[in-house]
Amino acid sequence: MNYFNRPAERFEVEWQERFRNLQALICELVLKNEQLRMALASITVITHEEARERDG
């Protein structure tokens, strides 16, 4: 019986490790998305006319 349990336990450990890796990747992507959102929010888009007025 122990012989049959070991592969299942190993499968469970491998699955948990992959799940943790996936969670870490998702967290990293969420963080990068937030950083990108903040960077894009800081960009001001102006028209050519506004640029001419600003530049004199």
For residues 54 and 46, the answer to whether their CB atoms sit within 8 Å is: yes
Q: Tell me, what's the pLDDT at 20?
A: 96
pTM for this structure? Answer: 0.58
Cα–Cα–Cα angle for 37, 42, 46, rounded to 5 degrees: 120
pLDDT score at 2: 56
pLDDT at 6: 65
For the stretch 3-50, pLDDT in tens is 556 677 888 888 999 999 999 999 999 999 999 999 988 888 878 888
| pLDDT score at 47 | 83
Please give the C-alpha separations between residue 52 and each of 20, 42, 43, 44, 45, in angstroms, as whole numbers: 53, 21, 18, 15, 14
Which residue did the predictor score with more confidence, 32 or 53? 32
